[in-house]
Each structure stands twice: as C-alpha cells, then as structure tokens.
C-alpha cells in the first residue's frame, strides 16, 4: 500500500509540472526545470506512474482477497508476495530511468526500444521491462489461483462468482501479453492494433471485470450487497464486456484505417461498459444509507464512499466524456485535443484511481481492526480530490477542448493544435484557471498522505468512544471480516 500511495503522490506532482509547462514553456515558476526533466519526460512519467500505482493497488487487493475467498493462506505465499514486490520495484525504477535516458538521447534506437522508451503511450516502457512486468504478472496469477483454488474445489457458496473472479484474474495475467505482439519495426497500424488491446481490453475491460468482482466480494463480505445481487452484477459485467468490450476496441483504431462503420460500432458498444459498476455502486449507495443499522458498518463508510464516487465518474468520465470523443465524426475533429485528457483524467483517476484508493482503504480498515479512525483527513481527501478533479475539467480542460473543437471544425486540426491558437490570451487564461482545480486536488492528496502516515504513527486514530457510530459490536468486529482481521 505504501508503494502505491508513494507512486500516486509522485504521479500527481509530475502532472502539476507537466500542466505548468503548457503555460510557461520550459520553466516551473521561473525555475528551468526542463533542463533536467523536459516535458516529454514528465508527461511520460505522469502516465506511467499512474498505471503503476493503480495496477499495484489492484494486484495487492487481489492478493489480499484471494486467501479470504479460498479460506486459507497457502504455504509460501508470503515469500511469493515478497518476490513479486521486489520485481515490481525493479520494473518501476528501471523503466522510468530508461525512459529518461531514451528521451535524453543517451540510448541508441535499438537499445532505446529494449530498455528505454518505445514511443507508444501507455506502453512507453522498454520491451525488456515490459517482458519483466509480464513475468511478474504470471507470478501474481500463480499466487492468486493457488489461494483461490480451495474455494473452487470445496464447492462453496457463490461458486459462480468465484469462477468468474478467477477467470478475470487469468485474463489480467495473460492479456497483457498482447503488448508483446509487435516489434520495433512493425507497421504502425499493426502496432496500434495490439497496443489498444492492452489499453482497452486489458485496462478498460478485464480490469473493470476484476474490479466489479473485487467490489462484489467486498460488499458481500461486509453485508452491503446481497450475494445474489452481487453475482448478477458480476455476470452482467462479464457479459457486457464480452459482447460490448471487444467490438468497443474498434473506436480506438480510427487512425489505423478502420472503416467509419466499424468505428461507429466500437464507439456505441464501448459506451455500454460503464453499466455494471454504475448499477453495483447504486446498490452500495442505497445500502450505505442504512449504515446506522449496524455499529460496524460505519467503520467502512469512507472506503464505500470512494466506491460510490467511482459510480459517478464511471458514468460521467468514462461514459459521457468518453462517448463525447468516440463517434467517428468526433474522432475526426476532436481526437488529440484537450477533450481527450478530459476523458483521460475523469476516467483513469475518477474510475480506476478512486477505485484503487477505495480498495486500499478497505484493506487498511480491515488490518487496523476495530480502532476508530479520525475521519477529518480522509473526508477532506475525498471531497478535495473529487471537487478538484471536477474544477480541473470544468474550468480549464473542457472549455479549452471545446474551443479547440470549434477551431478544428472551422480551420482544421492543425490550427486547433497550433501555437497561434493555444497562445491566445483567452486560451492561456483558461489554462491558468486549471491551477484552481489542481491546487484543491493537491490538498486532497496531501490530506490522504497525512491520514495514511497517521495510521502508522497513531495520529489518525480516535480515542475509543469519540465517535458514537464507531463503538465496537459485542464481539469487537463484524463476523464476516473476523477471519481477515485475525490474519491481518
């Protein structure tokens, strides 16, 4: 958890620097930072660290849930997890360093492809680090399946959900390999096809199915969602992904010569993928309103609110803003403008970021037992990050993107992306307006870091009895999570 939160903090700071470069050029409030960290480096690291910390949170959640689902922790599991952790650190540090060397032109073309920067967004890391990451995912898959296996063998309740969760685990482990299907000299259209298998099918597809399963298990364990409802949502997620997610990939390969009719099918079906998490989140919200019925439920109210936030941004960021730029006519005029980061930020952080933070908070809440938390910092973090993200989009990214769209329709995409257009006073003012949302967001991140550190030092815990709603139940914890807290 500590590594994921540290990477999250680094990603946010890199994002602030990258955004500032768009208004000051090569400096950061007068400091010539670009001499050490040029725009290409900060933007690459901003994207890569985002993927790394979210993936780390997902993998850690899986390793936490697997023994709970299976009912026991297999022998040697701790050793395997430690090896996986070391491999993760190697891939993160090695790939980020390689990208810096590659952008600074300190590596040749061949060495740059293998150990530096591939040049493809979201799979920027060198091929050697990509292979190492794939090996790490295979180890994670092995650790997951050996821990889940007892639940499948013993035929426990919710066997359908266990089976689907296991299948999504296999898909996450294996489908990243699609990014290895092209080489340094593969034609761009072929490379883009396989790259979007990783970005759309692996991240936006199988991770969403895995997330739905993880939330379903957590909500069922906590008593927030009925097992039958959770299973139905999980089956719906899997079905919609298989039916909609695979053809939904087509809208990504518009610039690879895909016919317009196929792109339209991709855009339409892709919009359906947000449905399962929205429905599951709605049920969680309805159940959250009944938190006073059980003393222990109030202890999980903030993690659950992060999941409810996922529901909102899944509908708005992934759904509304995603569909805004996905139809063929929109792709022709709007792709690559500020309308793209509108979707990128609200979907990647709003959905997968908040989901990862919620999953981490559930684990931290479980491992800290019945000790009541001081909720001020976590409340500030939740609202500041959500409000900051909304203001970042509404005050800056979306207005600039819509202005660029008008310029693209009237004069052409070249003009909408040109310095002549972007350096107009009104556009520069809108870009500076982003500081409002960014600053509020940074306050939320700082509050989250303060809270997380306080769980280690002790200042994030409230004295027993300070919060009436967090008084302990008769046996000190909710029965469904007793075994987890004991193991933790």
Flag whether 99 is in a domain.
yes
| pLDDT value of position 50 | 92
Smallest CA-to-CA distance from 208 within 159, 278, 149 is with 278
**b/e sequence 322-349, b meaning 16+ C-beta within 10 Å:** bbbbbbbebbebbbebbbbbbbbbbbbb
Whole-number Cα distances in Å, 248 to 83, 206, 269, 273: 36, 13, 5, 9
As given in the structure block, the two tokens for residue 163 are 């089976």
Positions of the chain with pLDDT lower than 70, given as ranges: 155-157, 222-225, 237, 241-242, 244, 255, 271-297, 464-488
Is 338 in contact with 404 (CB distance < 8 Å)?
yes
Flag whether 473 is in a domain.
no
- Angle (CA) 409 415 416, round 5°: 65
Flag whether 106 is in a domain.
yes
User: Cα torsion at 365, 370, 373, 378 (round to 10°)?
Assistant: 20
Flag whether 38 is in a domain.
yes
Flag whether 408 is in a domain.
no
- Angle (CA) 387 392 397, round 5°: 150
Flag whether 415 is in a domain.
no
How many domains, in total, are found in the chain?
1
Smallest CA-to-CA distance from 62 within 197, 173, 152 is with 173
Whole-number Cα distances in Å, 408 to 79, 251, 263, 403: 55, 20, 20, 9
Flag whether 259 is in a domain.
no
Angstrom distance (rounded) from CA 90 to CA 85: 9
Angstrom distance (rounded) from CA 72 to CA 146: 10
Is 258 in contact with 332 (CB distance < 8 Å)?
no
| pLDDT value of position 483 | 44
Structural domain for 144, as ranges:
1-156
Residue 273 gets the label, from left (phi > 0), alpha (psi -120 to 50) or beta, of: alpha
Flag whether 191 is in a domain.
no
- Angle (CA) 38 44 47, round 5°: 140
| pLDDT value of position 299 | 77
Question: Each residue of 374-433: pLDDT tens digit?
Answer: 889 999 999 999 999 999 999 999 999 999 999 999 999 999 999 899 989 999 999 999
């Amino acid at each position: 958890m500590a590594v994921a939160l540290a990477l999250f903090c680094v990603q946010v700071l890199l994002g602030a620097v990258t955004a500032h470069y768009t208004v000051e050029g090569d400096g950061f409030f007068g400091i010539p930072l670009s001499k050490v960290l040029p725009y290409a480096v900060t933007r690459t690291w901003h994207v890569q660290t985002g993927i790394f910390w979210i993936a780390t949170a997902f993998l850690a959640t899986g390793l936490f849930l697997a023994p709970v689902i299976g009912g026991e922790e297999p022998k040697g599991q701790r050793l395997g997890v430690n090896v996986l952790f070391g491999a993760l650190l190697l891939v993160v540090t090695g790939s980020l360093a390689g990208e810096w060397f590659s952008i600074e032109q300190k590596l040749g073309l061949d060495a740059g492809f293998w150990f530096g920067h591939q040049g493809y967004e979201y799979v920027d890391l060198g091929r050697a680090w990509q292979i190492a990451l794939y090996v790490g995912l295979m180890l994670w898959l092995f650790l997951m399946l050996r821990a889940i296996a007892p639940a499948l063998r013993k035929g426990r309740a919710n066997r359908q959900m266990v089976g689907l969760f296991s299948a999504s685990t296999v898909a996450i482990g294996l489908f990243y390999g699609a990014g290895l299907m092209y080489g340094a000299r593969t034609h761009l259209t072929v490379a883009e096809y396989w790259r979007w298998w990783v970005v759309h099918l692996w991240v936006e597809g199988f991770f969403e199915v895995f997330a739905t399963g993880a939330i379903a298990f957590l909500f069922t364990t906590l008593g927030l969602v009925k097992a039958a409802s959770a299973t139905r949502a999980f089956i719906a997620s899997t079905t919609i992904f298989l039916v909609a997610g695979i053809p939904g990939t087509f809208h990504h390969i518009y610039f690879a010569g895909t016919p317009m009719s196929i792109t339209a099918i991709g855009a339409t079906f892709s919009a359906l993928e947000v449905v399962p998490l929205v429905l599951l989140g709605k049920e969680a919200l309805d159940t959250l309103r009944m938190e006073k019925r059980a003393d222990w439920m109030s202890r999980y109210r903030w993690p659950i609110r992060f999941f409810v936030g996922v529901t909102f941004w899944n509908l708005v960021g992934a759904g509304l803003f995603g569909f805004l730029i996905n139809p063929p006519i929109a792709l022709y005029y709007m792709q690559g403008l500020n309308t793209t980061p509108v979707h990128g930020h609200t979907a990647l952080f709003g959905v997968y970021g908040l989901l990862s933070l919620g999953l981490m908070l559930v684990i931290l809440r479980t491992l800290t037992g019945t000790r009541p938390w001081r909720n001020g910092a976590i409340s500030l973090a939740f609202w500041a990050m959500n409000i900051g993200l909304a203001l970042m989009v509404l005050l800056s990214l979306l207005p600039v993107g819509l202005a660029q769209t008008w310029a693209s329709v009237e004069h052409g995409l070249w003009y909408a992306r040109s310095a002549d257009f972007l350096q107009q006073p009104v556009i520069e003012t809108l870009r500076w307006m982003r500081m409002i949302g960014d600053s509020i967001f940074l306050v939320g991140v700082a509050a989250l870091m303060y809270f997380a550190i306080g769980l280690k030092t002790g200042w994030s815990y409230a004295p027993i009895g300070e919060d009436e709603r967090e008084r302990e139940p008769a046996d000190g914890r909710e029965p469904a999570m007793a075994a987890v807290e004991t193991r933790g």
